[in-house]
Amino acid sequence: MPSDYENEKSASRVVATRRYWSRTDSPKRWYPWGLLQLIGLAILFLVGAFLLAPRIEADVRTQVSDRLRDAGLVTAVVSSSGQGVAIRASADETNKMVVQTIASSTRCRTWAGQLTCPTTINVELDAPTSKTAKLELRPHAFKVVRADDVVTLSGEVPNLSEQERILVAARQHFDTVLNEMDVTNAVATDTYIVATTGAIAAVSHLQDGQAEWSGESLSVIGFAGASGVDSARREFDDVGRTASLGVFNVSSSHDTAQCNEDFERILAATSVQFKTGSALIDQSSESVLKRLAEKAETCPGELVIEGHTDSRGGSEMNRALSQERAASVRSALVRLGVEPGRLSAVGYGEERPVADNDTADGRATNRRIVISALLDN
């Protein structure tokens, strides 16, 4: 029989091995939630790789090809892989940056609309067939035509860089510029830049007309205001210091008689008003002054501004007042853009009445400003 000591030891061992967890032999269920997410990602990858990616790459190739073709690089070959686009173009080294810029700015269709294609552009230029081959030198014909406010550029341009230079120059003078130039990828003559720049500058002074560079000489034909004729002639002569000149036939759009009729009609409708007894022009006359300045720009030669008064007051005082008023109108027209060298002012006082000074209406008619163009010699 066990002793009391052994019974106490066995009891203490049972207390020491007490468990603090439950134990079960029943199996737990396993759910593949993580695996389902991996399968979904794999499906999205396959859809993108085999369905969406080829479509996007094709769209990028099409958009880039169209942009390059519109720029005149019809021989460019475009390939794409993922976000990379490779371009092989027939262009000289100076145009590589132009090709890069055009391709990089291509816009592609996305779910958010037209956005810049997120592509990496690699441009390779075709090597020349022979190291000793010389680029073709040819005269490039060029024409600038202005009809109202629209200017059309046509003819030939040697490369894309030169085309961009011409477009920038034209847009400095005109709001609406149509580009119909053909890129030749040939070398132009040394006078091409001077001739095209001068042609654009000359046409900027015309109301209607054209400037044409034949490849050998420059001709300018059209109509302009009085100051425009002289300005166009100066641009034409400047080209002649470097290149050959052809015909310059720019006529004034208005003859002298027509100008005088137009000035008379404007001043008959609304006269220039002055402060009483002074040569200070009333603010209400600003609109008629603008119309007079616009007409002056279309008239040839020198313009004379006459001041007239009624018979009240002394003759010397009236002559001085009429002279001051004519000078005030001259200053206003100069401020509005008329060349000062074309304008002269003279005061006649009460010497040349056109109505009866015995009535208020007659005196009001005699207080007047007259503008006229000097007759052609």
Domain residue ranges of the chain, discontinuous segments joined by +: 34-125, 142-252, 256-373
pLDDT of 55-114, one tens digit each? 666 666 676 666 666 666 544 555 656 555 565 655 555 566 666 666 666 666 655 556
pLDDT for the residue 32: 57
pLDDT for the residue 125: 60
Angstrom distances, CA of residue 49 to CA of 53, 108, 109, 234: 5, 18, 18, 65
Task: Kindly state the helix (H) or strand (E) to which residue 306 belongs, with its residue range.
Answer: strand 303-308
| Class at the top of the CATH hierarchy for domain 34-125 | mainly alpha
Mean predicted lDDT score pLDDT of the chain: 78
Q: Average pLDDT, stretch 31-53?
A: 54
CB proximity list for 56: less than 8 A, separation 6 or greater: 108
- The region of weakest confidence among 82-96, 156-170, 198-212 is 82-96
**377 vs 349: CA distance, rounded Å:** 28
Instruction: Tell me which CATH code domain 142-252 carries.
Output: 3.40.1520.20
pLDDT for the residue 43: 61
Pairing type for strands 176-183 and 113-116 reads unpaired
Pairing type for strands 303-308 and 343-349 reads parallel
**SS3 of residue 370 by DSSP:** strand
**283 vs 111: CA distance, rounded Å:** 58
pLDDT of 58-73, one tens digit each? 666 676 666 666 666 5
The count of other CB atoms within 10 Å of the CB of residue 57 is 18
The count of other CB atoms within 10 Å of the CB of residue 280 is 12
- Which residues are bridge partners to 88 per DSSP? 77, 124
Does CATH place domain 256-373 in 3.30.1330.60?
yes
pLDDT of 281-300, one tens digit each? 999 999 999 999 988 887 87
Write down the residue that tokens 């130039």 correspond to: 181
pLDDT for the residue 137: 79
Q: What is the DSSP string of 154-208?
A: EEEESSHHHHHHHHHHHHTT-SEEEEEEEE--SBPPTTHHHHHHHHHHHHTT-SE
- Residue 166: pLDDT band (50, 70, 90) is very high
**6 vs 195: CA distance, rounded Å:** 125
- pLDDT tops 70 at residue 136: no
